[in-house]
Structure 1
Amino acid sequence: MTDRDFTRASCVAAVRVSADTPERRRAELSTSLQRLGDFLEWSEVGRGPFGSAIPRGARVVVKPNWVLHENRGPWGLGPLVTDPGLIHAVVEGVLAAGPARVVVGDAPLQGCDLERLLGDTGLDRWAADLQTREPAFEGVRDFRRTTCEFRYGVRVAREDQQPESDFVLFDLGAESLLEPVTDMRGSFRVTQYDPRKMRQTHAPGRHCYLVARAIVEADVVVNVPKLKTHCKAGITSALKNLVGINGNKEFLPHHRVGGSRHGGDCYPGGSVLKRAIEVALDQSNLASAPGTRAFAWSATGDVLGRIAQLMGDEVGVEGAWSGNDTVWRTCLDLNRILNYGRTDGTLAETPQRRVLHVVDAMIAGQGDGPLAAEPLELGLLLGGGNPAAVDWVGAHLLGYDPHRVALAREAFGRFRWPITAFERDEVRLIGDLGGGTATLSDVLAATQSIKHPPGWRDSAAASLERR
């Protein structure tokens, strides 16, 4: 299933999807996807855009980005989640290759109302209909073990939504990319979750992830992210989308408590006010159940946060800036597990499954993403066999200097279970941008003025900084 070495797949294809309405775009997607497969040599006559990449009888998971059921800004689902028409086209393309089993699955934010999202996009009706017609299609899976709602700013969790047997526990130990920034104080945080739980999953010499068994048992994973700016990682695309294969948030460090002056990476420098906000939020998250104490601490954090905003703060206390030195490590760990992970929770020295990346850059997301994404009309599909190469191109398209984006830059690092065996300057762009001969500098030169999250404006490409 892994006859091609993904670590050497330095080629990225870009295909235009030029239809001017959602209806016409969806009609064009199958053709565009076929062209993408042709450029990347994934296709096979009579077996669709993935015919040479997906063996007959393979077990396949399609992994979209379903992060949240609504945009936190006024811009709708278009720049927020993977286009439902693209999901249709990808699944139909996968089925044409003759797999034994196809599942579409994701682990959105725990507060995401996935049932509502599937209803609003029509994916629930599409999946139900397809299951009646295609025996190999097994429908949609929610990979979350925990969901939640928020009452007056306090998280109320619903645990054990999926059995633990549906997941595989991995411990990367000292080989985790988080190990160099791990301390005995339990500094790792993920917003609105109990930090005590994260101390159990990430500590010196112990770095655990709980990955959906469907992913680990797959022969092929088709990763279908939405290209967006991201307030903590700079970019969310092929690499960051893999956060959605993990079942519980307490396995996912996103930042380290404190400012950079004191060894944390939640915000630059040091601030007594921000440290007070962090203490209030921690106390709220430590509450065993919603109640007066939790509500009081949450309200205190909110009031202090508003004061910080009135004083001109735009970054907050959640690692939403270019100095976040944690989240990229978590993302790359998950990519290593996806490619090298075995069903017994260990990692092999060779890739264990084929991973194909098809990026929705038709309406990308800009601004204060990923949850309040504003539309950025790029009209493109990106594809490739290596997530680092794909995201190197994606960072250019989002107007970044990718050397300033740790997730894009560090994916080319040399570590055990590597993601690349090529250098950044060896990424090659083919397809519709420049007639198949475009360089990344050509892409950058054509980039329009793009909005970045406040904490990432210092990572914009030089040509955009001058605009």
Structure 2
Amino acid sequence: MQPTGRDATVAVVGCDGYAPDEVDAAVRRAVDLLGGIEKFVAPGERVLLKPNLLQGQEPERCVTTHPAVVAAVAGLLVERGCRVVIGDSPGAGIVYNEANLRRAYARSGFAAVAEETGVALNYDTGCRTVAYPEGEVMKQFSIIAPAVDADAIVVVSKAKTHMWTRMTGAAKNLFGLIPGLEKPVFHFRFRDEYAFGRMIVDLNECMRPRLQVVDAVMAMEGDGPQSGSPRKVGVILAGSDSSAVDTVLARLIGMDPLEIGSIRSAVERGLIDPAAVRTVGDNPADFAVPDFKKPSTYAGGGAGIWRRVVLAVVQRFGKAYAPRPAVIAQACIGCGKCERICPVHAITITEGKATIDLARCIRCYCCHEMCTEHAVALSRGPAGRLLARLLG
């Protein structure tokens, strides 16, 4: 049974491509199925529209939320009479400053969205501490200024696999409210995906976005959130509860929702009952992609006794199983993003190339996630390959 006061309804609307008229119609229908935009925001409210910006990449790479989806949601908010600002903190390893924001907005297409719709882009790089005494693992967060100043937050995320959290959708997207160079602290403190998931739930409960829209028209499979490959799912998802939306998304891409740390944490806290999640609109089965390629770090699947034994070994000897990052020297340009992001300072730039101290590495894959040159490769040692075969 779904907890009282939390709406586990998720709108599922087919969308075959990114033609603006088609996206506008799909987004509007999804929101209307939930009760209309007036259910979520009021005229005159200042709304932060929070996309997945990461470092800012061209839309066709499927790294960021597609600008057509951002524009469609922005249009609904403007039509409602809201004061809208698009904002996000680029991924860890990126200095949170105006110059980097301008580059990211331009490359991702969000600058064009702002010009087209008349909404603002955030260039305020300040942040403030937000207390959350009810938090399970976090009692306060450092949050970027436009989120603190907003009356409401609307999240427009991108459906992707993730090397660390297995999947990134609605809940994980809110991690972008943490200023860029403060993100490695969280990776250092929460070293497994379930601990990290508990923090993500605290963050979502603290900031309470009012509406979630997921761009799953073209998703990313494989080694996301940046180095995977585009894969068509053909759907827009929308809902008010991030865990409910992510539950539907996980099922669409062939994952058990309880494998996702944030969903599991929400279930353990009594915030969501996956069995009570209700969909409206189109049939989710029409868009399911059971062979969606999982990240190379993925160890999901069946629940047999032997498999549980092997998974226990994996959890105990995580470094033996987990892929190891290695620098591809000929591809490395020595930009230093990986050095800045590493939460345990296991990476140094020497003679213009990155080097990784595997003895210190905690296998968070932040270096792989943030390398735009694809200069960080992942591979398993002999013990890891054996465990991978047993789990496969």
TM-score, normalised via structure 2 length = 0.68
Query: Aligned partners of 1:108, 1:7: CA distance in 2, in Å?
Result: 33
Specify the code of the residue in structure 1 equivalent to 2:276. E
Aligned residues between the structures: 300
What's the secondary structure of 1:117's corresponding residue? helix
- Post-superposition offset of 1:6: 9.3
Show the counterpart of 1:85. 68
1:15-26 matches, within 5 Å, as: 15-19=13-17, 22=18, 25-26=19-20
- Post-superposition offset of 1:27: 2.4
Query: Aligned partners of 1:92, 1:356: CA distance in 2, in Å?
Result: 15
- Post-superposition offset of 1:108: 1.4
- Post-superposition offset of 1:376: 1.4
Show the counterpart of 1:425. 275
Cα RMSD of the aligned pairs, angstroms, is 3.0
Q: Is the CA contact 1:255–1:324 (under 8 Å) kept in the aligned structure 2?
A: no
Query: Aligned partners of 1:412, 1:32: CA distance in 2, in Å?
Result: 30
Identity of aligned residues (%): 29
The one of 61, 79, 83 aligned to 2:48: 61
The one of 129, 133, 137 aligned to 1:178: 137
Question: Structure 1 residues 224, 6: closer, same or farther in 2, change over 3 A?
Answer: farther
Q: Is the CA contact 2:42–2:81 (under 8 Å) kept in the aligned structure 1?
A: yes
Show the counterpart of 1:12. 10
Show the counterpart of 1:362. 217
Question: Structure 1 residues 461, 362: closer, same or farther in 2, change over 3 A?
Answer: farther
- Post-superposition offset of 1:238: 0.8
Query: Aligned partners of 2:297, 2:280: CA distance in 1, in Å?
Result: 32
Show the counterpart of 1:29. 23
Question: Structure 1 residues 403, 241: closer, same or farther in 2, change over 3 A?
Answer: same
Q: Is the CA contact 1:252–1:330 (under 8 Å) kept in the aligned structure 2?
A: no
Greater C-alpha Rg: 1
1:5-37 Cα shifts (integer Å, max 9, x gaps): 995211101101124xx4xx2221111111112
Show the counterpart of 1:245. 177
What's the secondary structure of 1:106's corresponding residue? coil
TM-score, normalised via structure 1 length = 0.58
Choose 375-384 or 241-250, whichever is displaced more: 241-250
Query: Aligned partners of 1:177, 1:11: CA distance in 2, in Å?
Result: 25
- Post-superposition offset of 1:53: 2.6
Show the counterpart of 1:221. 153
- Post-superposition offset of 1:413: 2.9
Specify the code of the residue in structure 2 equivalent to 1:80. V
- Post-superposition offset of 1:324: 2.8
Show the counterpart of 1:169. 129
Query: Aligned partners of 1:120, 1:337: CA distance in 2, in Å?
Result: 31
Specify the code of the residue in structure 2 equivalent to 1:58. E
Question: Structure 1 residues 29, 208: closer, same or farther in 2, change over 3 A?
Answer: same
Show the counterpart of 1:403. 258
Q: Is the CA contact 1:400–1:460 (under 8 Å) kept in the aligned structure 2?
A: no
Specify the code of the residue in structure 1 equivalent to 2:265. E
**Unmatched runs of 5 consecutive residues or more in structure 2:** 95-99, 305-389
Question: Structure 1 residues 355, 122: closer, same or farther in 2, change over 3 A?
Answer: same
- Post-superposition offset of 1:453: 1.2
Query: Aligned partners of 2:281, 2:301: CA distance in 1, in Å?
Result: 27
